[in-house]
């Protein structure tokens, strides 16, 4: 099933024919980067672009093994370009080509080539592309399906079905291919398990272990299980080390844990969120929270234990949505308490968010709203909850989180 990704597609349309800029789509494997290319190519054809003006190479396919040399790739593209027209070139998982940046930089200089590339490794782009192409590329940071995109596959469902579908979305995950596992309205859990296993092994084995030369999978998996089991909980490297080594037969050094986490961040499997000290002297930010790119992987890996801590899982979903909407996200710290997210848009506009399963209990409501009340600026403040009793409390909006997600 092909789901439309309008936000990402519109970004590519906006930068179409700016041939001096490379369009770079990054994100975790299987999040839909290749499908986005197909959607954009279909759009191009509606604008009169002919098939011979579109050249697409996926480096994970054996068909293109001969192009894993950057000079061979460069020659192949020039050979297949139409001389007197704009050519749209798509290179999928280009990080598999050693020194790929030399080829794409040269192609960028051609006035009849509009270049689009994808990659699943942040280290590759930060170190290689930025060095050679600083200011010459546009990065589109792609995530798996939003709840609104996911729900577009069930267009006939009414609003009273949102809660049930949200539980499925959180449990089975947001990778687009998961939607293909519905059979006559029923979800094939065995097929889901097999699919998530392949996703997990691809991200962990092909990307992280291979790039970092990791030999001991069991140690890496201990770190991964910790991060999935503690999403939304503040941790330091020393704290993670203490927990992992408390009951283990083999010790994992702090430096090793740090390297493993960096690999997971580079592969877009997790995102790191640092604290923003809203009042008082800004302290060294040694602690951080980690959120997963997909909660389905968490349920796949942790099994029955994954259903615990629904509040932090909901936080994870809200964090990803804020990232989709273009915010830079931090956590808030002040003497009055913690604020889940301080979200800043380019230009400096700030929004504050608390996330809670329910605030119907009076003590819970007071705990969640107190840190927001203590902030004296006039930026918007929200409490996002699964409750349907919503409203406004002295300028602080209490909003049903599913309706907020469906706004997109």
Which tens digit of pLDDT belongs to each residue from 20-65?
A: 899 999 999 999 999 999 999 999 999 999 999 999 999 999 999 9
Banded model confidence at residue 305, pLDDT cuts 50, 70, 90: low
Please state which of the ranges 212-221, 259-268, 314-323 shows the lowest mean pLDDT.
212-221
Banded model confidence at residue 307, pLDDT cuts 50, 70, 90: low
Q: Please give the pLDDT value at position 277.
A: 77
Q: Is the pLDDT of residue 361 over 80?
A: yes
Residue bearing the bigger pLDDT, 207 or 301: 301
Contact 248, 222 (CB under 8 A): yes
Please state which of the ranges 27-31, 244-248, 357-361 shows the lowest mean pLDDT.
244-248
Q: Please give the pLDDT value at position 123.
A: 67
Domains defined for the chain, CATH in brackets: 6-141 (3.40.50.300), 148-407 (3.40.1350.70)
Q: Is the pLDDT of residue 213 over 90?
A: no
Please state which of the ranges 76-85, 238-247, 276-285 shows the lowest mean pLDDT.
276-285
Mean pLDDT of 333-357: 92
Q: Please give the pLDDT value at position 237.
A: 93
Q: Please give the pLDDT value at position 202.
A: 87
Q: Please give the pLDDT value at position 11.
A: 96
Banded model confidence at residue 380, pLDDT cuts 50, 70, 90: very high
**Whole-number average pLDDT of the chain:** 91
Banded model confidence at residue 280, pLDDT cuts 50, 70, 90: low
Give the Å distances, CA to CA, from 187 to 45, 299, 327. Answer: 35, 15, 33
Residue bearing the bigger pLDDT, 344 or 125: 344
Instruction: Give backbone dihedrals phi and psi of 54, rounded to 5 degrees, phi first.
Output: -110, 120
Q: Is the pLDDT of residue 181 over 70?
A: yes
Q: Please give the pLDDT value at position 124.
A: 66
Q: What is the 3-state secondary structure (H, E, C) of the chain?
A: CCCCCHHHHHHHHHCCCCCCCEEEEECCCCCCHHHHHHHHHHHHHHCCCCHHHEEEEECCCHHHHHHCCHHHHHHHHHHHCCCCCCEEEEEECHHHCCCHHHHHHHHHCCCCEEEEEEECCHHHHHHHHHHHHCCCEEEEECCCCCHHHHHHHHCCCCHHHHHHHHHHHHHHCCCHHHHHHEECCEECHHHHHHHHHHHHHHHHHHHHHHHHCCCCHHHHHHHHHHHHHCCCCCECHHHHHHHHHHCCCCCCCHHHHHHHHHHHHHCCCEEEECEEECCCCCCCCCCEEEEECCHHHHHHHHHHHHHCCHHHHHHHHHHHHHHHCCCEEEEEEECCEEEEEEEECCCCCEEEEEEECCCCCHHHHHHHHHHHHCCCCCCCEEEEECCCCCEEECCEEEEEHHHHHHHC
Q: Is the pLDDT of residue 130 over 80?
A: no
Residue bearing the bigger pLDDT, 68 or 305: 68
Across 84-88, 219-223, 246-250, 282-286, which has the greatest mean pLDDT? 84-88
Distance CA 178, CA 319 (A): 21
Contact 219, 257 (CB under 8 A): no
Give the Å distances, CA to CA, from 29 to 24, 73, 405. Answer: 14, 23, 23
Banded model confidence at residue 309, pLDDT cuts 50, 70, 90: confident
Mean pLDDT of 277-288: 65
Q: Please give the pLDDT value at position 336.
A: 84
Q: Please give the pLDDT value at position 394.
A: 92
Banded model confidence at residue 304, pLDDT cuts 50, 70, 90: low
Please state which of the ranges 7-21, 61-75, 305-319 shows the lowest mean pLDDT.
305-319
Banded model confidence at residue 249, pLDDT cuts 50, 70, 90: confident
Q: Please give the pLDDT value at position 95.
A: 87
pTM here? 0.93
Q: Please give the pLDDT value at position 115.
A: 96
Mean pLDDT of 74-81: 97
Q: Please give the pLDDT value at position 272.
A: 96
Banded model confidence at residue 224, pLDDT cuts 50, 70, 90: very high
Q: Please give the pLDDT value at position 23.
A: 94
């Amino acid at each position: 099933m092909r789901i439309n990704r309008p936000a990402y597609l519109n970004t590519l349309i906006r930068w179409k024919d700016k041939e001096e800029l490379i369009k770079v789509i990054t994100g975790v494997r299987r999040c839909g980067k290749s499908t986005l290319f197909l959607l954009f190519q279909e759009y191009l054809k509606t604008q009169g672009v002919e098939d011979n003006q579109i050249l697409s190479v996926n480096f994970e396919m054996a068909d293109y093994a001969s192009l894993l040399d950057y000079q061979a790739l460069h020659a192949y593209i020039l050979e297949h370009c139409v001389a007197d027209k704009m050519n749209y070139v798509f290179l999928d998982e280009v990080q598999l080509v050693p020194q790929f940046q030399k080829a794409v930089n040269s192609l960028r200089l051609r006035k009849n080539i509009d270049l689009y590339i994808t990659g699943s490794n942040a280290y590759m782009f930060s170190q290689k592309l930025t060095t050679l192409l600083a200011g010459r590329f546009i990065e589109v940071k792609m995530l798996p399906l939003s709840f609104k995109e996911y729900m577009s596959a069930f267009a006939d469902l009414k609003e009273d079905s949102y809660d049930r579908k949200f539980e499925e979305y959180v449990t089975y995950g947001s990778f687009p291919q998961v939607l293909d596992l519905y059979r006559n309205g029923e979800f094939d859990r065995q097929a889901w398990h097999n699919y998530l296993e392949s996703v997990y092994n691809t991200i962990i084995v092909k990307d992280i272990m291979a790039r970092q030369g990791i030999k001991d999978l069991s140690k890496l998996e201990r770190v991964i299980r910790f991060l999935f089991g503690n999403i939304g909980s503040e941790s330091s490297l020393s704290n993670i080390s203490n927990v992992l080594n408390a009951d283990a037969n083999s010790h994992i050094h702090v430096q090793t844990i740090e390297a493993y986490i960096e690999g997971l961040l580079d592969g877009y499997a997790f995102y790191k969120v640092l604290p923003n000290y809203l009042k008082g002297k800004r302290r060294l930010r040694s602690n951080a929270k980690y959120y997963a790119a997909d909660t389905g992987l968490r349920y796949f890996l942790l099994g029955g234990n994954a259903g615990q801590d629904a509040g932090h899982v909901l936080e994870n979903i809200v964090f990803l949505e804020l990232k989709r909407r273009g915010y830079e996200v931090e956590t808030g710290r002040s003497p009055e308490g913690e604020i889940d997210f301080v979200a800043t848009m380019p230009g400096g506009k700030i929004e504050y968010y608390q996330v809670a399963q329910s605030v119907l209990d009076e003590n819970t409501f007071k705990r969640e709203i107190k840190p927001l009340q203590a902030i004296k600026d006039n930026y918007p403040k929200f409490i996002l909850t699964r409750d349907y009793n919503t409203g406004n409390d002295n300028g602080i909006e209490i909003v049903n989180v599913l309706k907020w997600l469906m706004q997109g």
